[in-house]
Structure 1
């Protein structure tokens, strides 16, 4: 097993890897890591379906209980790069096991807690562990799959979180109604402990003899302009899609005239589309990474604009929301792969920063969308905001493609050598 700080090799050209065709099957470890991200995705959003029950039990308002979601997002933004640095000298296997252990313990504290402040603190701690797991899991998955299939592997790992929106969150909300809101947190604690066992068996032990990794070496990755372009694309991708998705319910009911009872079905359609988008985007990203990161946000911008214009019609809006899930998040595994690659000798930090960037985009986008919802634009305001933010994604992704083309051309025709005509 390679060290945490080893550089992942970049494809030799703009179409993808030159190391041969991707393997037909990904290693089992990739799917085990996807199980971990499934648990992480479930715990991040399951609270949304349990807020009234939690608020009533701990005697706070529903709005105040919503801080359980906010503090988790903040913990992810801060925690992913912070924990990547704090665990820098730890083997990847140990980091993943410790993260899952803290994840499980945090859920036990929430399940037993009677103080809102204690529960809030436990959620923040869980978010730190989630950030650490996600960042290292991305690096381990990309490394295990190899350069020819790294984007596909990251697509599978990310699909675990998308599957959480389709299965984990609705199932957790249903379980909370049947057995009380603490039930899902007990279940997540048990599943987190079980995932620790799987990780300990599947992730190889470090072979030893690794070079010491310094914080200065990791931070040197921050000098990469291409890394910052990839992170900017992560922010705008998440901001464009999730600013719209956060307030999709009033759009569907107030503008499209859809019955409130049908809204969950539309959300499931979005989740299924997002799951497919991660898997398909990961496959395409191994072959044509830069084209994928340009086409996906371009189509997303068109879809969001169409939602703005056609939101008065229920049928087209439902179809557009499902397509938004498919294209809107399809470039994410490729952007993660580029972030890891452009970080050079600091792949864990690069991965962690992409996690933070996605969460930062979600926080900023949803905040601006909330302001737009209260503006004269009304229910279509968030979609209008999403359209503008999604369009901004084309700036960094096109810049990355042009930069890579220049680098490829320079490598093919060194200075002083005659260029082919």
Structure 2
């Protein structure tokens, strides 16, 4: 039992470090912009680049793993992850920083996929949903504690220190992983791996993958620029922003926990009303932009709604794969993180366009367009299909 708890903690820690590395840019946008004398929108584009590379590389690297021992694969990709964060810490210019983020993004998706594989391997079948949900919660924990702490550290001693800390802690987690997790786990051989992609021709899947894209895309139009919004536009101190990001992270953690309960029965129908609320909240961010206190509340609402469809869509993909495309189970299990990152890329890119063209007050309106489309997608999925 003690060994299982330690193994679980290590896997959660891996997700935490991945979340820290991905989300920390949101907290240090302004500091990086000042260091390299580039616009805030240019730094915000790093979030877009990271998410796009993450989404593209994950399925490709998953297929390349083959029959290699997953322990060795994990040690290799975590080493690359550490190198990417060290390169971020020492980047002499914005181009090198961008390259470092590409390197880190390349291996982040396959890292969490393998972590989930280990989680299901070491856990009895009846507890697998529990451990998988906790491993994914590592990302939310990073939002609650990691990103605000990184933001505060950046303000105190510089943003580079945050990447050094991520690299050092990841090295320690890697050592613990090698010591505590099994060394004999391998992926089963797939004879014709191209058959897996047939699932992407399924109409329900094509609609279903739009759910995380639009849900996260709408929120990330605003969230990518939340730090400069609170400091530059609303005049709040960085200390206040740090505390606020903790509260936002708690809302995200509650979103993950609530998602599991919503997914238990008719999940797609049950989440619909919450995305109506998300759409209204996004519109409100623009409408009440000159009333900062109102916007503070609305952004917390966005944090609570952002992940509510996560568990539902994951079960949705897996059900279709099990019944129609059993050869694509592994690919289907990666859809939620992949297309969540597509949404992050879409949202952060859209936010950058809005900031550069019409200004931050219009960010909420841009996000609301995506969630309005999401409502249409959810309606079609729940009314036009009978699964």
Per the normalisation by structure 1, the TM-score is 0.74
Partner residue in 2 for 1:12: none
The structure 1 residue matched to 2:370, chosen from 389, 397, 401, is: 389
8 A Cα contact 2:24 2:147, kept in partner:
yes
Residue aligned with 1:35, SS: helix
**What do the CA deviations read for 1:121-144 (whole angstroms, capped 9, x no partner)?**
333121111021123334554676
The structure 2 residue matched to 1:195, chosen from 173, 177, 186, is: 173
Query: What does 1:289-328 correspond to in 2, within 5 Å?
Result: 289-328=267-306
Partner residue in 1 for 2:248: 270
8 A Cα contact 1:80 1:355, kept in partner:
no
8 A Cα contact 1:154 1:282, kept in partner:
no
Partner residue in 2 for 1:86: 64
Partner residue in 2 for 1:168: 146
Measure the CA separation in 2 of the matches of 1:373 and 1:181.
Answer: 23
Structure 1, gaps ≥5 residues long:
1-25, 408-421
Partner residue in 2 for 1:19: none
Partner residue in 2 for 1:107: 85
Query: What does 1:370-409 correspond to in 2, within 5 Å?
Result: 370-373=352-355, 378-402=359-383, 406-407=386-387
Shift of 1:206: 4.7
8 A Cα contact 2:29 2:228, kept in partner:
no
Partner residue in 1 for 2:347: 365
**What do the CA deviations read for 1:353-379 (whole angstroms, capped 9, x no partner)?**
433322222222233334444666x54
Measure the CA separation in 1 of the matches of 2:17 and 2:113.
Answer: 15
Per the normalisation by structure 2, the TM-score is 0.80
Shift of 1:181: 4.2
Residue aligned with 2:54, SS: helix
8 A Cα contact 2:68 2:187, kept in partner:
no
Instruction: Say whether 1:356 aligns with 2:338.
Output: yes
Residue aligned with 2:327, SS: coil
Q: 1:287 to 1:125 in 2, by over 3 A?
A: same
Shift of 1:37: 1.6
Q: CA RMSD in A?
A: 3.6
Measure the CA separation in 2 of the matches of 1:93 and 1:124.
Answer: 23
Shift of 1:216: 1.7
Shift of 1:300: 1.7
**What do the CA deviations read for 1:157-216 (whole angstroms, capped 9, x no partner)?**
332112222321232244345555443333222222222234345544556794445322
Shift of 1:393: 1.8
Partner residue in 2 for 1:121: 99
8 A Cα contact 2:45 2:349, kept in partner:
no
Partner residue in 2 for 1:285: 263
Partner residue in 1 for 2:223: 245
Measure the CA separation in 2 of the matches of 1:187 and 1:386.
Answer: 33
Partner residue in 1 for 2:209: 231
The structure 1 residue matched to 2:236, chosen from 248, 259, 263, is: 259
8 A Cα contact 1:151 1:285, kept in partner:
no
8 A Cα contact 2:84 2:101, kept in partner:
yes
Instruction: Return 59-68 or 171-180, whichever deviates more.
Output: 59-68
8 A Cα contact 2:204 2:381, kept in partner:
yes
Structure 2, gaps ≥5 residues long:
none
Instruction: Say whether 1:217 aligns with 2:199.
Output: no
8 A Cα contact 1:142 1:337, kept in partner:
no
Measure the CA separation in 2 of the matches of 1:141 and 1:216.
Answer: 26
Tell which structure's C-alpha radius of gyration is larger.
1
Instruction: Say whether 1:345 aligns with 2:323.
Output: no
